Chains A and B, each alone.
Chain A
Amino acid sequence: MLAVDVKNIKKTFISKKDTVEAVKDVSFQVKQGEIFGLLGPNGAGKSTTILMLTTLLSITEGNASILGIDVATKDKEVREKIGVALQDTGIDNLLTGRELFFTTCRLWGYSKKDSEVRTNELLDLVGLIEAADRRVKTYSGGMKRRLDLGLSLVHSPEILFLDEPTTGLDPGSRRVLWDEIKRLRDSGVTVILTTQYLEEADELADRIAIIDEGLVVAEGTSDELKASIGGDVITFAFDSDDDLENAKNILSNTVQEKNELRLTVEDGASRIPGYLKDLTGQGVEVSSVSANKPTLDDVFLEVTGYRLEGSEESPTPDEKSER
Chain B
Amino acid sequence: MQSNRSFIVQLQILTKRMVFRVIRRPLAELPNLIISAFFLFVYDGALGGVFGGAASGTPFDFAKGNFVNFILPVSIVSASLSGAASGIYLVEDIESGVFKRYQSMPISRWAIILAPMNVGAFRVLVQSSLILGIGKFIGADPAVGNIGFLIVLSLAFIWGMGFAGYSVAAGVKSGSSQGAQAATFLFFPAIFLAPTFVPREALKGWLETAAAYNPTTYVIESMRSVMVDGWELDVLFRGYLSAGIFAAITLTFAVISARKATEKA
Contact = CB atoms under 8 A, between A and B. Distances in A.
Given A76-B106, A92-B98, A111-B3, 13 more contacts: A55-B264, A58-B265, A79-B106, A86-B104, A88-B97, A90-B93, A90-B97, A90-B100, A90-B101, A91-B97, A104-B105, A114-B1, A114-B3
B257 interface: no
Interface string A196-232: 0000000000000000000000000000000000000
Given A13-B265, A106-B13, A94 B96 contact: no
Contacts of B98: 90-92
Contacts of B261: none
The 10 closest A-B pairs by CB, nearest first: A90-B97, A90-B101, A109-B5, A109-B2, A90-B98, A58-B264, A88-B97, A84-B104, A94-B24, A106-B13
Interface residues of A, number: 34
Interface in A132-170: 135, 151, 155
Contacts of A99: 17, 20
A307 B93 CA distance: 37
Nearest to B103: A56
A151 B101 CA distance: 10
Contacts of A79: 104-106
Contacts of A135: 24
A103 B13 contact: yes
B3 A109 contact: yes
Interface of A: 13, 54-58, 76, 79-80, 82, 84, 86, 88-95, 99, 103-104, 106-111, 114, 118, 135, 151, 155
Given A84-B104, A107-B107, A92 B13 contact: no
B103 A80 contact: no
B97 A89 contact: yes
B3 A110 contact: yes
Interface in B1-32: 1-5, 9-10, 13-14, 16-17, 20-21, 24-25
Contacts of B107: 107
A109 B13 CA distance: 11
A108 B264 contact: no
22 contacts: A13-B265, A54-B104, A56-B104, A57-B265, A86-B100, A88-B100, A90-B93, A90-B97, A90-B102, A91-B96, A91-B97, A94-B20, A94-B21, A94-B24, A95-B24, A99-B17, A104-B105, A106-B13, A108-B2, A108-B105, A111-B1, A135-B24
B90 to A, nearest CB: 13
Nearest to A11: B265
A111 B4 contact: yes
Contacts of A108: 2, 5, 105-106
Contacts of B265: 13, 57-58
B122 interface: no
A240 B13 CA distance: 68
Most chain B CB within a 10 A radius of its CB, from A79, A107, A111: A107
